[in-house]
Structure 1
């Protein structure tokens, strides 16, 4: 069940002396849809469609003041991000993300523009939440899902799952096996 991680920075470089790897992996690569997209995709198409319609109408009208032509540009850019950009950013971030479970910690490492290193002690992990699909892939959340509890309030992480505020192993294969491994490691650490 051990996945080899081949990236510029090997996740083992973050291990403490004597720490042993139990599992390492990466999130699903490429474009990935989430449950939230059932609402976000129609909204983004309406927003983007209206913004593009507005801007094209204003630009083609003779005698329209320059300010009005400029006014719609940010809305068009936001619309384009909501329609396609957020999927590209999410895929970009996931391509630079690594996960590890050791005998002591959970490690999540992101490289690139949105670089971040997060470690969680097995002894102090909050409740684990497993979201498994029929093909065996899924997500393990290490804490409550902020999107479900706080609404959409404009946070980028609600639109781009890989940038979530909730620590998670997003879109991993054999998610149930990893979930069980973490639970066993926790109980071993507690004894």
Structure 2
């Protein structure tokens, strides 16, 4: 472990390796992989159904008219995109959540996905938004970002996050079941 990083029994593991000297770990947790839908899905699911239905109708028309196979293959690409939007993104979202760990320190919020992908947000400088799910059993925390209507914010936590590459990416701790622990750690960090 780097000598400039915090060590100790309460801060062992991959997230501990990300701590700066003097930084105190307040909370660790993970997203709930069973939570698949977000508010954005109120738009994305109907749009995905429309997209896939339109492309299926288009491909049927192209095939039945005897058009060249190149045109069918072109439609096939759009059908695969539609299939991903309709079903595939939920598998990707669940897989990503199972590989993600979160932490809140007295200075930052961190997200570790897999063994190497780390993102963080300064809790002292950025705006923090806390939103409880409808069931009040999960909480989503977003820090900074380009606003609620930015592409990064609209596609965040949908399995289509790559569409939000324009602008400043949104940082979030999504669908956390430990509502009380996370909100208490955020309050402590913001008062620090």
TM superposition score normalised by structure 1: 0.77
2:101 maps to 1:98 = yes
Q: Indicate whether 1:138 and 2:142 are aligned.
A: no
Asked if 1 retains the 8 angstrom alpha-carbon contact of 2:28 and 2:101, the reply is: yes
Considering only aligned residues, what root-mean-square deviation do their CA atoms show, in Å?
3.0
Secondary structure of the corresponding residue to residue 129 of structure 1: strand
Corresponding residue of 2:159: 160
**Distance (whole Å) between structure 2 residues aligned to residue 5 and residue 36 of structure 1:** 35
Q: Which structure 1 residue ranges, 5 or more long, are not aligned?
A: none
How do 1:7-156 residues align onto structure 2 when only pairs under 5 Å count?
A: 10-30=14-34, 32-59=36-63, 61=64, 63-111=66-114, 116-124=117-125, 126-133=126-133, 134-144=135-145, 146=147, 148-150=148-150
2 CA distance for matches of 1:185 and 1:46?
44
C-alpha spacing 1:162/1:73, structure 2 compared with 1 (3 Å): closer
CA contact under 8 A between 1:93 and 1:162: conserved in structure 2?
no
1:182 matched residue in structure 2: 186
- Per mean C-alpha deviation after superposition, the further-off stretch among 19-28 and 178-187 is 178-187
CA contact (8 A) 1:94 1:162 kept: no
Contact between 2:35 and 2:175, CA under 8 Å: does it hold in 1? no
Secondary structure in 1 aligned to 2:96?
Answer: helix
Query: CA-to-partner distance for each residue in 1:67-91, whole Å, 9 max, x for gaps?
Result: 2222211110111011011111211
3-state DSSP class of the match of 1:149?
coil
- TM-score w.r.t. length of structure 2: 0.77
